[in-house]
């Protein structure tokens, strides 16, 4: 965000600048806000604890302007790293807006997104959430915020429903389960949703216990010991990639082998970092999440641009993070095109009337309710096969059949 080009202003510069500023202040707000391209600050955790996911989102953002240009949209992106730090997210969002950002997209992590929402609300700049699920974001009355992502309750609710579908499709029952979650903002919100929704979901097995862990811990041996003592057949998890790696490694060390490890709606199990760290041990885990619709022409265009720009990365792995980031930027670009201005209130009014039928992720048209929530997103069951995310349910979008129970740790190749 900082420029290294400095100069000492002359008297002519100062007077000329003052005159220009006066002319701008005298002009109507809409005229001043007009631009050929929408300037979007893409705020992501490209370093720190959530760097793997942040970099994945970033790779999607990098190719977005070209894909959108082919679709008739024009955007200029400013890439901001908030270093997986909530305070940095707040200050960098303030700086980006001060330096001319007319729309903000982000931020993957819910705590940082909450901090950014406060800034955008004060500055009357639209915030379009790519990934963040805590309920407060659409429950606190923000007028300059929309979320093209699922809430915690939607993630967990859809995730539990798909567990039932998975059991029916494979004829593999579970006698019991435990829920393991990080104790961060996202994890505790998932725990609250699980506590509320599991009893009402009429699952055919009991939830024995919920176990929280510190994602910054060096290992999760203590937590795995607790899990092993309960002997669940199903382990439901809310993780990030770094702690998912530790969780699986400690399960292998302690020779604990459940029938399945399933995320009812969280990252971690599909990240490249997870595959590279665990190799064959990364396979057969399941996650119930929205995924890229391979039949969509927009998905195909994004995948082609991605593969050209990032030949050493896999779109098949990045498509969740990259796809949601692309869609968030597209929402802003579409609103800007319809509004004809980047004036904050006018642009936000256009964002709220979004109706995009052709997009990347599974589900219906991108639309927002009165709270700014898109309720048309649909989840699928995705399983790691040969270290590649593979849709296995529902049948109309599946490309392979689910494997349950998962094979033993020993003997994988």
Residue 390, both tokens: 């593979």
Rounded distance between C-alpha atoms, residue 153 and residue 134, angstroms: 9
Tell me, yes or no, whether 4 lies in a domain: no
Domain check: are 127 and 268 in the same one?
no
| Chain segment 261-272, per-residue pLDDT in tens | 999 888 889 888
Rounded distance between C-alpha atoms, residue 97 and residue 122, angstroms: 11
- Residue 386 binned pLDDT confidence (cut-offs 50, 70, 90): very high
Domain check: are 146 and 158 in the same one?
no
Domain check: are 157 and 217 in the same one?
yes
Tell me, yes or no, whether 342 lies in a domain: yes
- The pTM (predicted TM-score) of the whole model is 0.80
Domain check: are 53 and 177 in the same one?
no
Is residue 156 within 8 A of residue 190, CB to CB? The reply is: yes
| Chain segment 110-143, per-residue pLDDT in tens | 999 999 999 999 999 999 999 998 889 999 999 9
Tell me, yes or no, whether 112 lies in a domain: yes
Burial track 137-168 (b if 16+ CB lie within 10 A, e otherwise):
bbeeebebbbbbbbbbbbbbbbbbbbbeebbe
Domain check: are 114 and 186 in the same one?
no
Domain check: are 385 and 243 in the same one?
yes
Tell me, yes or no, whether 85 lies in a domain: yes
Residue 185, both tokens: 């903002």
Among residues 195, 160, 61, which one has the least CA distance to residue 381? 160
Query: Tokens 């665990």 — which residue?
Result: 278
DSSP state of 274: H
Domain check: are 48 and 178 in the same one?
no
| Chain segment 200-254, per-residue pLDDT in tens | 999 999 999 999 999 889 999 999 999 999 999 999 999 988 999 999 999 999 9
Domain count along the chain: 2
199 is in which domain, residue-wise?
153-289+380-393
Tell me, yes or no, whether 206 lies in a domain: yes
Model pLDDT, residue 34: 54
Domain check: are 386 and 238 in the same one?
yes
Tell me, yes or no, whether 258 lies in a domain: yes
Rounded distance between C-alpha atoms, residue 273 and residue 278, angstroms: 9
- Residue 189 binned pLDDT confidence (cut-offs 50, 70, 90): confident
């Amino acid at each position: 965000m900082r420029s290294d080009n400095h100069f000492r202003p002359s008297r002519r510069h100062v007077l000329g600048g003052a005159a220009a500023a006066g002319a701008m202040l005298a002009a109507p707000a809409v005229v001043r806000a007009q631009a050929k391209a929408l300037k979007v600050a893409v705020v992501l955790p490209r370093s720190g604890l959530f760097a793997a996911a942040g970099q994945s989102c970033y790779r999607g953002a990098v190719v977005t302007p070209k894909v959108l240009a082919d679709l008739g949209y024009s955007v200029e992106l400013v890439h901001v790293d908030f270093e997986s730090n909530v305070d940095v997210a707040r200050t960098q969002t303030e700086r980006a807006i001060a330096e001319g950002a007319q729309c903000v997209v982000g931020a993957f992590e819910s705590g940082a997104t909450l901090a950014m929402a406060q800034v955008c609300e004060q500055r009357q700049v639209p915030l379009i959430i790519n990934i963040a699920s805590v309920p407060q974001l659409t429950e606190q009355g923000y007028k300059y915020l929309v979320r093209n992502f699922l809430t915690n309750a939607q993630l967990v609710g859809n995730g539990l429903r798909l567990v039932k579908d998975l059991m029916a499709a494979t004829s593999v029952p579970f006698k019991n389960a435990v829920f393991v979650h990080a104790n961060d903002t996202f994890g505790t919100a998932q725990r609250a949703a699980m506590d509320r929704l599991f009893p009402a979901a009429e699952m055919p097995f009991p939830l024995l216990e919920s176990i929280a862990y510190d994602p910054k811990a060096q290992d999760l041996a203590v937590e795995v010991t607790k899990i092993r003592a309960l002997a669940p057949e199903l382990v439901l998890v809310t993780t990030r990639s770094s702690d998912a790696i530790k969780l699986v490694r400690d399960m292998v060390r302690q020779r604990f082998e459940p029938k399945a490890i399933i995320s009812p709606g969280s990252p971690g199990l599909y990240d490249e970092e997870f595959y590279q760290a665990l190799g064959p041990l990364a396979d057969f885990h399941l996650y119930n999440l929205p995924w890229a619709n391979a039949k969509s022409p927009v998905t195909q265009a994004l995948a082609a641009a991605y593969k050209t720009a990032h030949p050493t990365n896999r779109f098949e792995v990045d498509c969740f993070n990259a796809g949601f980031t692309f869609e968030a930027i597209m929402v802003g670009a579409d609103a800007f095109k319809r509004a004809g201005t980047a004036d904050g209130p006018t642009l936000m009014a256009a964002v709220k009337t979004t109706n995009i039928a052709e997009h990347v992720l599974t589900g219906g048209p991108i639309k927002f309710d009165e709270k700014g929530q898109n309720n048309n997103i649909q989840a699928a069951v995705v399983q790691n096969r040969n270290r590649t995310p593979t849709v296995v349910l529902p049948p109309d979008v599946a490309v392979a059949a689910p494997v349950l129970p998962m094979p033993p740790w020993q003997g994988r190749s």
